[in-house]
């Protein structure tokens, strides 16, 4: 947790405490008096009355006692006719929460309740929180009433509605009122109005409420409810499509990150680097190491560990890539199949090296606070880490486009891609371009590893799980074309996520693989193919 978040929560806690303290001074006696009635209450009906009384008081001080009652921890001590809360080995005062004495040796009598009383307790609790100072408490209280549709809360709710100033909580309270009205009123007009209020809410809860109502209703209200259900369903479907697109883009950005380095090396050098996945893995392990160092020596700056891990991962993997190119691959140019085998050998060695150093099990890589958690837009739930990865992948794409189109290395890379011999004849040191390209592609894979460490298990097999998908993206998008890789990754990601609800994750993946296999047959050079005489001369 970062500092601001801690401060904020402490702040709100303090406010709450002040509020509670203020209330308790004024009403302590009356809450205490009512709770004391439990000691003499006989039977469920009397207990129920006391619960209702507490609810009407609307004092949060009664909450601990009510909760204890619901959990069966509120007991009476027949020896002095007092009411106590049992907490572990201690007896607590039901109002102040102070320890009175030890439970040992006392014969206490449990105040028995049944399910209907438990519901009453819940309603009473939410009623007293409806007017709490903290907006979040009020919001959740209103939500609870909406969920339970408890008619007993109507009065408290009406009072709260007149006092509420926050627009979003107000509408939530109105929806809660509508849910009560819907289940209690006999007036069709009131029902229809309630239905329209609930329909505005438009989420799954509204849907289940209306469905339950529709099943038992008749006449006009039934039709209104059915119409509202259809409209909510339509809306939800739309959101679901949105959610799928989001998931798809998220998966697509991961695929893109994993594949883009491969696309560069394959495009420029015609080299299949089977150790590409291991570069991703090395990047993820670099993140792990950087985070370990931060944890031990500078935990306060842990949030910034990724910022350091990114360039480091780039350097580490670019260096490994450079060594690979100079040590192995350059001897195998023009023999793509042999390159494929040799790089596979490298991948085995790298995997085993990492396994030997870091062990075969998953390593814990933490999310910095700015990458954890989620927020909601309508019915969309968006996690921060996924969002950042999409942003990051687009940034990588933009930077690569700039490198390719604006730098002299990029110009030389494009020249070598299009016609190696001609480029060489023009004085471009193709050797150097190859080495740089390979280092660049590997370095980007390393940075992808930093991103992937945030959403996936960091283990020596990390690379293996991405390599085939990356190939598919590159082949699908067309070789030597960054746009192709981007479009290919995103469309494969979205297609995968759209298939999943119908077929399950595994079958979706199989179908996508089969689709690509068939697609390559149709367009052997991918989506964005270069056409011309020189292509397969």
Partner 1 sequence: MILTHFLKGGIQSRSVLTMIGLLCVIAILIPIMNLVVPPASPFHVPDHLVPLFGKYLCFAILALALDLVWGYCGILSLGHGAFFALGGYAMGMYLMRQIGARGVYGNPELPDFMVFLNWQELPWYWYGFDQFWFAALMVMLVPGLLAFVFGWFAFRSRVTGVYLSIITQAMTYALLLAFFRNDMGFGGNNGLTDFKDILGFNIAAPETRAALFAASALTLALALLLISSMVSSKYGKILQAVRDAESRTRFLGYRPEKVKLIAFVVSAIVAGIAGALYVPQVGIINPGEFAPANSIEIVVWTAVGGRGTLIGPIIGAVLVNAGKSWFTGVLPEFWLFALGGLFIFVTLFMPKGIVGLAKKLSNFSRPNITTNKPQSSDGAIAKPAE
Partner 2 sequence: MQVSSSLLYLDGVSVSFDRFKAINDLSLYLEQGEMRAIIGPNGAGKTTMMDIITGKTRPDEGKVLFDGEIDLTQHDEAEIAMYGIGRKFQKPTVFETQTVEDNILLSLKGTRNSLPALFYQPNEPDNQRIDEILETIRLAFRRNDLAANLSHGQKQWLEIGMLLAQDPKLLLVDEPVAGMTDAETAETAKLLRKIAETHSVIVVEHDMHFVRDLDVKVTCLHEGSVIAEGSLDHVSSDQKVIDVYLGR
For partner 2, the binding residues (CB under 8 A) are 531-533
How much of the chain is in helix, strand and coil states, percent to nearest 5? 75, 5, 20
**Closer by beta carbon to partner 2, 41 or else 530:** 530
Task: Give the helix/strand (H/E) hosting 74.
Answer: strand 74-77
The binder of 351, among partner 2, partner 1, none, by C-beta within 5 to 8 A per type, is partner 1
The verdict on 377 binding partner 1 (CB under 8 A) reads: no
Q: Judged by CB under 8 A, which of 104, 167, 518, 535 binds partner 1? A: 518
Q: How far is CA 149 from CA 205, 425, 447, in A?
A: 12, 81, 52
The verdict on 510 binding partner 1 (CB under 8 A) reads: yes
**Closer by beta carbon to partner 1, 150 or else 469:** 469
Task: Give the helix/strand (H/E) hosting 486.
Answer: helix 482-503
Q: How many residues bind partner 1 (CB under 8 A)?
A: 43
In the complex, least distance from residue 394 CB atom to partner 2, rounded to whole angstroms: 28
The verdict on 438 binding partner 1 (CB under 8 A) reads: no
Taking CB under 8 A as the binding criterion, the range among 195-203, 221-229, 341-349, 436-444 that sits at the site for partner 1 is 341-349
**Closer by beta carbon to partner 1, 194 or else 495:** 495
Q: Is 360 helix (H, G, I), strand (E, B) or coil?
A: coil
Tokens of 104: 């040992």
Q: How far is CA 379 from CA 40, 244, 391, in A?
A: 49, 12, 21
Phi, psi for residue 107 in degrees, rounded to 5: -100, 105
In the complex, least distance from residue 530 CB atom to partner 2, rounded to whole angstroms: 8
**Closer by beta carbon to partner 2, 208 or else 419:** 419
The binder of 407, among partner 1, partner 2, none, by C-beta within 5 to 8 A per type, is none
In the complex, least distance from residue 427 CB atom to partner 2, rounded to whole angstroms: 22
Give the C-alpha separation, 469 to 222, whole Å.
50
In the complex, least distance from residue 457 CB atom to partner 1, rounded to whole angstroms: 18
Structure-token match 């890379």, residue found:
413
Q: Is 526 helix (H, G, I), strand (E, B) or coil?
A: coil
Q: Which of residues 450-469 bind partner 1 (CB under 8 A)?
A: 464, 468
Phi, psi for residue 445 in degrees, rounded to 5: -60, -40
Task: Give the helix/strand (H/E) hosting 91.
Answer: strand 90-92
Tokens of 524: 């052997």
Taking CB under 8 A as the binding criterion, the range among 55-63, 115-123, 176-184, 504-512 that sits at the site for partner 1 is 504-512
The binder of 336, among partner 2, partner 1, none, by C-beta within 5 to 8 A per type, is partner 1
**Closer by beta carbon to partner 1, 17 or else 505:** 505
- Report the relative pairing of strands 82-87 and 74-77 from DSSP bridges: antiparallel
Task: Report residue 108 CA to chain centroid gap.
Answer: 46
**Closer by beta carbon to partner 2, 414 or else 509:** 414
The binder of 6, among partner 2, partner 1, none, by C-beta within 5 to 8 A per type, is none
Task: Report residue 277 CA to chain centroid gap.
Answer: 25
130 in Cβ contact with 144 (< 8 Å): no
194 in Cβ contact with 185 (< 8 Å): yes
State the residues that interact with partner 1 by CB under 8 A: 270, 272, 274, 328, 331-332, 336-342, 344-349, 351-353, 355-356, 464, 468, 471-472, 475, 506-507, 509-510, 513-514, 516-518, 520-522, 524, 536
């Amino acid at each position: 947790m970062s500092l601001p978040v801690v401060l904020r929560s402490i702040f709100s806690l303090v406010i709450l405490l002040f509020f509670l303290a203020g209330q308790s001074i004024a009403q302590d006696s009356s809450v205490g008096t009512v709770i004391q009635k439990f000691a003499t209450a006989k039977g469920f009906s009397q207990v129920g009355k006391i619960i209702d009384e507490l609810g009407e008081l609307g004092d949060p001080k009664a909450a601990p006692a009510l909760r204890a009652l619901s959990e069966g921890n509120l007991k009476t001590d027949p020896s002095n006719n007092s009411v106590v809360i049992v907490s572990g080995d201690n007896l607590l005062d039901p109002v102040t929460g102070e320890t009175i004495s030890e439970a040992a040796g006392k014969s206490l009598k449990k105040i028995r309740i049944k399910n209907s009383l438990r519901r009453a307790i819940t309603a009473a609790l939410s009623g007293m929180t409806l007017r709490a100072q903290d907006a979040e408490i009020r919001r959740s209280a209103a939500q609870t009433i909406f969920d339970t549709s408890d008619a007993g809360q109507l009065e408290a709710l009406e009072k709260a509605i007149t006092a509420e100033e926050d627009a979003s909580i107000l509408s939530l309270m109105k929806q809660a009122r509508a849910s009560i009205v819907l289940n209690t009123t006999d007036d069709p007009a009131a029902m229809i109005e309630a239905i329209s209020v609930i329909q505005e809410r438009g989420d799954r809860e509204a849907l289940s409420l209306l469905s339950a109502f529709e099943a038992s209703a008749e006449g006009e209200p039934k039709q209104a409810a059915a119409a509202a259900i259809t409209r909510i369903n339509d809306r939800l479907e739309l959101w679901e499509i949105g959610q799928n697109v989001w998931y798809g883009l998220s998966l697509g950005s991961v695929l893109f990150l994993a594949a883009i380095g491969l696309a560069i090396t394959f495009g420029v050098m015609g080299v299949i680097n089977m150790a590409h996945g291991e570069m991703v893995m090395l990047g993820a392990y670099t993140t792990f190491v950087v985070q370990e160092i931060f944890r031990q020596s500078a935990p306060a700056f842990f949030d910034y560990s990724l910022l350091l891990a990114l360039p480091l991962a780039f350097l580490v993997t670019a260096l490994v890539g450079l060594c690979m190119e100079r040590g192995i691959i350059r001897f195998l140019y023009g023999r793509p199949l042999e390159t494929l085998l040799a790089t596979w050998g490298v991948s085995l060695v790298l995997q085993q090296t990492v396994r030997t150093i870091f062990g075969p099990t998953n390593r814990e890589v933490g999310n910095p606070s700015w990458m954890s958690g989620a927020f909601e837009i309508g019915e969309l739930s968006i996690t921060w880490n996924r969002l950042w990865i999409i942003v990051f992948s687009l940034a990588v794409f933009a930077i690569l486009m700039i490198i390719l189109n604006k730098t002299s290395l990029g110009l030389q890379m494009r020249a070598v891609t299009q016609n190696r011999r001609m480029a060489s004849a023009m004085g471009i040191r193709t050797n150097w371009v190859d080495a740089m390209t390979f280092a660049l592609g590997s370095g980007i894979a390393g940075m992808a590893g930093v991103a992937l460490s945030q959403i996936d298990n960091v283990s020596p097999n990390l690379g293996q799980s991405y390599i085939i998908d990356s190939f598919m993206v590159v082949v699908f998008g067309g070789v030597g074309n960054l746009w192709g890789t981007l479009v290919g990754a995103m469309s494969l990601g979205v297609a995968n996520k759209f298939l999943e609800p119908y077929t399950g994750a595994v079958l979706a993946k199989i179908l996508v693989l089969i689709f690509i296999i068939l697609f390559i047959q149709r367009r052997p050079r991918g989506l964005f193919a270069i056409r011309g005489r020189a292509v397969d001369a």
